[in-house]
Amino acid sequence: MKTRFFAVVSAIIRKDLQAELRSRELVGSMGLFALLSVLIFSFALELDRVARIEAVSGVLWVTIVFSSILGLNRSMAMERDQGNLEGLLIAPIDRGAIFVGKLVGNFLFTLTVGAVLLPLMTVLYNLTLITPTLILTLLLGILGFSVVGTLLAAMTVQTRARDALLPIVMMPVALPLLLLAVRATTGIVNVAPEDQWLAFLQLLGVLDVVFLALCFILFDFVIEE
Amino acid sequence: MIIETHALTKAYGLQPVLRKIDLGIERGEFVALLGANGSGKSTLLRLLCALSKPTAGTLKVGGWELPKEAAAVRSQIGLVSHKSLVYDNLTANENLLFFARVYGLNDIDGRIKRGLERVGLGKRGGDLVRTYSRGMLQRLSIARALLHDPDVLLLDEPYTGLDQDASGILDNLLQQAHGDGKTVVMVTHELDRAQRLAQRAIIISRGTIVLDAPMSTIDYLPARYTEVTGMTTR
């Protein structure tokens, strides 16, 4: 019997996508939350163009962060409901493969929401948001949140107050990611010179790598008793 | 011995749950682990399937030492619990396909087909698991646990929530697995059923083994249970 790391990762991703395509529970609730959130912000902040440019990056990232938390909770709940996480843990597989598998699934689900948000906000806020640099920022930011969120959701899912606990635990840890993503996005939307935002984007990439390495290592400890 | 423990101890903080358990289970035995809630029997099962680490003592499954050689042990065990350990939004076929990929098995289609037929779900393999009854879920759970052909089948209160018919089917499946040479260790509160199915009874009370005897030497298990634990049975 030969169990390979990437085969397990691929099996977990396929399983998550298959279950989601069938139920649409995760992306459905995340998408609906994101849509409502953006609409409420749009109507509440009837701003002039300058103020809108200032606010849009905050609205974008607050929406992404909270919808990703919603998705992370549900994604891990799926593993917990019928004891499925135990089913995975008794298999002769690297715990890192479970982490990477769940991470990729969470990343793809949040990315789907982000991909809907950008054109939607482009229309609502009358700004050019679909640019290669902004898409790159979105990718890096969502990757960072998914990395941190996957680890922390695996921790909080084992507690009674998991739904309330995840945002409380996640926000302080993910705050540097959020700040960097917002600063980079503001610079890009403002069409500011590169030297005013590129460093934030680069730092975001570095932080992603650091969090990825840390969370990969820590997952083993978090998931074991 | 396929399962061997020596002075196996497990504590949560300062609270000991298992105290210096010495146990040996032969290959092919059917053992019933009995005891009141909180006596430590489920903790012992979790230790055997490497879901938990011992505080002290040694534990070997199939000659492999836990927790050091957990991966080797995990490939030899199948777990059936009162939870189904399958995904509601997938069909039975998809669930088994997923676990076959996770275990890195070959002849996946053949294994899935044989596994579902063995538990009487051959014609329901394409149905979503969320449409299954509790009994069908438990049968699927057995198919999942046996998919990788483990040497040891561990069962944690598998009869929870099953009606009489479903319990009868589960009885047959467990006897069949035992007949196929599997070592079966079952945690249960159902003493009559344990006496009927198992070859050996191990009763745990407050973290220690208070009875370890062949079932053939026990006339009436509920009476013996009351005698050694001081607790009445249901």
Contact B101 A11 (CB under 8 A): yes
Surface of A (88-127) touching B: CB under 8 A: 88-93
Average pLDDT across chain B, whole number: 91
- Check residue B234 and give its pLDDT: 54
- Check residue B83 and give its pLDDT: 85
Q: Quickly count: other Cβ atoms within 10 Å of residue B110's Cβ.
A: 10
- Check residue A1 and give its pLDDT: 46
Which range in A29-43, A180-194, A204-218, B214-228 is most confidently predicted, on average pLDDT?
A204-218
Q: How confident is the model at residue A157 (pLDDT cuts 50, 70, 90)?
A: confident
Q: How confident is the model at residue A82 (pLDDT cuts 50, 70, 90)?
A: confident
Name every chain A residue with its beta carbon within 8 A of the beta carbon of B128: 22
Q: Does A221 touch chain B (CB under 8 A)?
A: no
Name every chain A residue with its beta carbon within 8 A of the beta carbon of B49: 90
Mean pLDDT of the region A204-223: 94
- As a whole-number percent, the residues of chain A with pLDDT over 90 amount to 55
Name every chain A residue with its beta carbon within 8 A of the beta carbon of B89: 18-20, 22-23, 25, 78
Mind listing the pLDDT tens digit for each residue in A95-118? Answer: 999 999 999 999 999 999 999 999
Name every chain A residue with its beta carbon within 8 A of the beta carbon of B83: 82-83, 86
Contact A84 B86 (CB under 8 A): yes
- Check residue B91 and give its pLDDT: 95
Q: Quickly count: other Cβ atoms within 10 Å of residue A50's Cβ.
A: 9
Provide the shortest C-alpha distance from residue A182 to chain B (in Å): 36
Contact B189, B161 (CB under 8 A): no
Q: Does A21 touch chain B (CB under 8 A)?
A: no
Q: Report whether pLDDT(A52) > 80.
A: no
ipTM over 0.95: no
Of A10, A82, A90, the CB nearest to B49: A90
Q: Report whether pLDDT(B57) > 80.
A: yes
Provide the shortest C-alpha distance from residue B77 to chain A (in Å): 8
Q: Does B107 touch chain A (CB under 8 A)?
A: no
Provide the shortest C-alpha distance from residue B221 to chain A (in Å): 31
Q: How confident is the model at residue B233 (pLDDT cuts 50, 70, 90)?
A: low
Structure tokens at B162: 């099953």
pLDDT greater at residue A46 or residue B84: B84
Backbone angles phi, psi at B16, to 5 degrees: -75, 135
Of A8, A78, A225, the CB nearest to B52: A225
Dihedral sign for Cα B173, B177, B178, B183, please.
negative
Residue partners of A95: CB distance under 8 A and separation at least 6: A89, A219, A220, A223, A224
Mind listing the pLDDT tens digit for each residue in B130-188? Answer: 999 988 998 999 999 999 999 999 999 988 888 888 888 888 889 988 999 999 999 99
Q: Does A24 touch chain B (CB under 8 A)?
A: no
Q: Does A162 touch chain B (CB under 8 A)?
A: no
Provide the shortest C-alpha distance from residue B208 to chain A (in Å): 22
Contact A89 B51 (CB under 8 A): yes
Chains A–B, number of C-beta pairs less than 8 Å apart = 88
- Check residue A80 and give its pLDDT: 81
Name every chain B residue with its beta carbon within 8 A of the beta carbon of A4: 104
Provide the shortest C-alpha distance from residue A133 to chain B (in Å): 37
Contact A87 B85 (CB under 8 A): yes
Provide the shortest C-alpha distance from residue A97 to chain B (in Å): 10
Burial of B185 (0-12, 13-18, 19+ CB in 10 A): buried
Burial of A17 (0-12, 13-18, 19+ CB in 10 A): middle
User: Minimal Cα distance from A223: which residue of B?
Assistant: B51
Of B46, B84, B105, the CB nearest to A82: B84
Name every chain A residue with its beta carbon within 8 A of the beta carbon of B80: none
Structure tokens at B224: 């013996």
Q: Does B64 touch chain A (CB under 8 A)?
A: no
Angle (CA) A158 B72 B34, round 5°: 60
- The Cα–Cα gap between A176 and B114 comes to 52
User: Minimal Cα distance from B147: which residue of A?
Assistant: A91
- Check residue B227 and give its pLDDT: 86
DSSP track, A59-98: HHHHHHHHHHHHHHHHHHHHHHHTSHHHHHHTSSS-HHHH
- Check residue B74 and give its pLDDT: 92
E strand map for B26-147: 30-34, 56-61, 64-66, 77-80
User: Minimal Cα distance from A98: which residue of B?
Assistant: B102
